[in-house]
Chain A
Amino acid sequence: QVQLVQSGAEVKKPGASVKVSCKASGYTFTSYGISWVRQAPGQGLEWMGWISAYNGNTNYAQKLQGRVTMTTDTSTSTAYMELRSLRSDDTAVYYCARDRNYGDAFDIWGQGTMVTVSS
């Protein structure tokens, strides 16, 4: 079946970096993109950015520009999201979601990865 499986929970210190993976299966990886969405504890959903699995084009949310990098490995159908210079307010559950682009909905979601930033 079509699914996205994410890597496990992470605990990081302020100033460190984290890299979360999202492995796709059940569909042609390069026919879609991947959006990353995060949710701080008790808060709403925040879109972080999008990457095309076809050509690697990216589009990042302005507030994260310079701190986030999204990549894909088509040989393993895996998308990655790296966030640098972590702060306590980056503590959140991070989701990947399938997103074809041009206004399509996020039809498949990963299970989420908890990232805790604490000294």
Chain B
Amino acid sequence: SYVLTQPPSVSVAPGKTARITCGGNNIGSKSVHWYQQKPGQAPVLVIYYDSDRPSGIPERFSGSNSGNTATLTISRVEAGDEADYYCQVWDSSSEIRVFGTGTKVTVL
């Protein structure tokens, strides 16, 4: 089955940029979605189809996808961005959905 690998943790100072990677075999050929999950809450979609933002998500959140790596970038990080982040793809050959292993973002 298709595997998505994320770093377990990323630490970033307020005001700086956080980059969260999501590695998968030829992931650039797939559409990647990103979710933010704060403790005790349901996940929230922050990026869909590689780089689109749902309404209400700040422009500080952006995404890219190429080759074997997709990246979620959070610019001008704020304390409220501290959360777990998950990438997700749809494997068209089996029609299953796959989540990445998750990355905990800590704001220093």
- Residues of chain A at the chain B interface (Cβ within 8 Å): 35, 37, 44-47, 50, 59, 61-62, 95, 97, 99, 102-107, 109-112
Residues of B within 8 A of A95 (CB): 42-43
- Residues of chain B at the chain A interface (Cβ within 8 Å): 1, 30-31, 33, 35, 37, 42-45, 48-49, 54, 86, 88-90, 92, 95-102
Q: Are A44 and B97 within 8 A (Cβ)?
A: no
Q: Are A110 and B42 within 8 A (Cβ)?
A: yes
Complex: chain A residue closest to B33, CB-CB? A105
Residues of A within 8 A of B88 (CB): 45, 105-106
Q: Are B102 and A50 within 8 A (Cβ)?
A: no
Q: Are B99 and A45 within 8 A (Cβ)?
A: yes
Q: Are B35 and A106 within 8 A (Cβ)?
A: yes
Q: Are B90 and A46 within 8 A (Cβ)?
A: no
Complex: chain B residue closest to A60, CB-CB? B96
Residues of A within 8 A of B30 (CB): 103
Q: Are B99 and A109 within 8 A (Cβ)?
A: no
Q: Are A105 and B99 within 8 A (Cβ)?
A: no
Q: A105-B33, A105-B88, A106-B33 are in contact. Are A47 and B43 (CB under 8 A)?
A: no
